[in-house]
Chain A
Amino acid sequence: MKLLFLVLFALAAAGLQAQDATIVYLAGDVDVRTEGGASFAADFGDELDSGDRVITRRTGEAELELTTGGTVNVGRDTVFIIGSTTGPTGEPTSRVAAAVGSFSFRFSAAVGNEPRIGSTTSVAGVRGTEVRVYVGSDGTTRYEVLEGLVEIEDAARSVTLGPEQAIEITPGAGVGPANVFAFLEQPIDYGVWNAGLVDGFLADPLPSLRGIAAEMQDLLDEIRRRAPEVEALLALSAEESGRLDEIEKADGLEARQEYFRDTVMPARRAARAAFVDFRFVVLSALSLDQHIFSRLAAEMEAWAFFDPDTGLIDEFRSELAAIRSQYEAVVVPWLVPSDLPWRF
């Protein structure tokens, strides 16, 4: 964890953070939690970077302008994550997601470098689009397309939605044309929709838990797969920085500056890009645990509060503990305590 602190600090101090979004409108209670773990009340004009999270409370709403083009309206009670990824031709592309709650996205640039949007369990590519995204407390993601096209993908296949089409994707269930339906243009009542999802979960909790656990497993596998590369790039960046004094001592200040420009900065940029992309996956896993697992497990604990020894709750706890023990081993080493919100 100490290493992570140093990495975050060093990369931020190196001035490598690129502004990815700006807060242009606020109402009610809205907090920002930065990639480095700092937390503050949001304000007009705040600049946000990859890895930052915007958290709206029960009365809060925010509007963000993405640097790559597009406007995001973050609804109430939403945890919204800003990330970035590398597009097919190597260009930086925004990647924005709600861990829970809702947001709408409107692409405003004439020529596209459209972001990837979605949730921690689902991702979509957009083309000239206005789209609403809802993420329920059971991890279900609902996309409603108002204009343009949205292509929703999972590991196996993709489905394209046009105007006035919507889809709800249940964790672990995958996407398919059969899930597409027409919708009324008025936004749904998120609270009512979400309560229905939670009631559905309580009616048959184990299949839902297994679906979300499968999504968490995918994130854990991705973190395991990418961690060695990220660690190597971070180590290389640190190693190159560490050689500066030695070079100056041997060949003078000019040689140091040249080495810094030609070797150290590219190494830092590569480390930064890989780390930000990786960190989005880590924060997705964190959010899935914080906002989906914890809520659903609390629902089960409340349901069993008067009779805590029923077989169903035991089975639920056991399956949840199995996936969470992997989470503790794989994700937690990449977290710092300040990644967890705190205020009372």
Chain B
Amino acid sequence: MRLRLAAVAAVAILLGACATIPVTERDARVIEVIDRFNTVEPSDFITQSGVPFLFNDQVLYAESDLVAILDRLREGGLVIAPRVIANDPARPASADARFDVQVFHDRLPPDARFVTVPSNAGDVTLILAGEANRLPMLVGLVRGRL
């Protein structure tokens, strides 16, 4: 009986912990977003993304601009590998960053993460923040490691 109670308590604690971990920190959910990025048309992927969007050091404010850039990357053949190298909390922009880039970083919500993943253009950093469709939202894509 005691053993059964302990097992139930352990499951409850585990479920509780899962419920409080943001989706941006769950690698399995991140990989689902990567899968959508690689396979879904950019005009549909936009529901999993959001503006402002940081692309390298450019902040895009219009959804149509973001779709155009994602289209351009798709045409160029960008494929992101479904493997997480690092999943770290988001950090502030460097002190010499432009005003718009600093504001972008300053306004990232507390669950924002910098997730480094491999791609056929080298390692890229995905900036994930918030949640849509029970998955993290992609709000930035930066070449290399942030």
Could you list which residues of chain A lie within 8 angstroms of chain B, going by C-beta atoms? Answer: 57-58, 77, 79, 100, 137, 191, 195, 198, 289-291, 294-295, 297-299, 301-303, 305-306, 308, 324, 328, 332, 335, 337, 340-344
Bitwise interface map of B from 55 to 97 toward A, beta carbon under 8 Å scored 1, else 0: 1101111111100110011001110000000000000000000
Which of chain B's residues 42-61 have a Cβ closer than 8 Å to chain A? 50-52, 55-56, 58-61
A298 and B99 within 8 A (CB): no
Docked Cα-Cα span, A140 to B32, in Å, equals: 39
Interface centre among B60, B64, B106 (most CB of A within 10 A): B64
Closest 9 pairs (CB-CB, A-B)? A344-B50, A302-B72, A298-B58, A301-B56, A332-B99, A77-B64, A294-B58, A297-B58, A337-B103
Question: In terms of DSSP, what is the predominant structure of the interface of chain B?
Answer: mixed
B100/A289 in contact, CB under 8 A: yes
| Cross-chain contact A198 with B99 (CB below 8 angstroms) | no
A294 contacts B61, CB within 8 Å? yes
Bound-state CA distance A340–B55 (Å) is 16
Q: How far is the CB of A135 from chain B (nearest CB, A)?
A: 12
**Chain B positions within 8 Å of A191 at CB level:** 64
> A324 to chain B: which residues have CB within 8 Å?
98
Name which residue of chain A comes closest to B99, CB basis. Answer: A332
With contact pairs A77-B62, A297-B58, A344-B137 given, residues A302 and B69 touching in the complex (Cβ less than 8 Å): yes
**Residues from chain A with Cβ under 8 Å of B60 in the complex:** 294-295, 298
Looking at the assembled complex, report how far the CB atom of A33 sits from the nearest CB atom of chain B, in whole angstroms: 11
Pick from A291, A297, A299: contact of B61, CB below 8 A. Answer: A291
Main secondary structure of the interface of A (DSSP, over half): helix
Q: When the two chains form the complex, which single residue of B50, B65, B143 contacts A298, counting CB atoms closer than 8 Å? A: B65
Cross-chain contact A290 with B59 (CB below 8 angstroms)? yes
Is B121 positioned at the interface, with any CB of A under 8 Å from its CB?
Answer: yes
The smallest beta-carbon distance between A41 and chain B, in angstroms, is 15
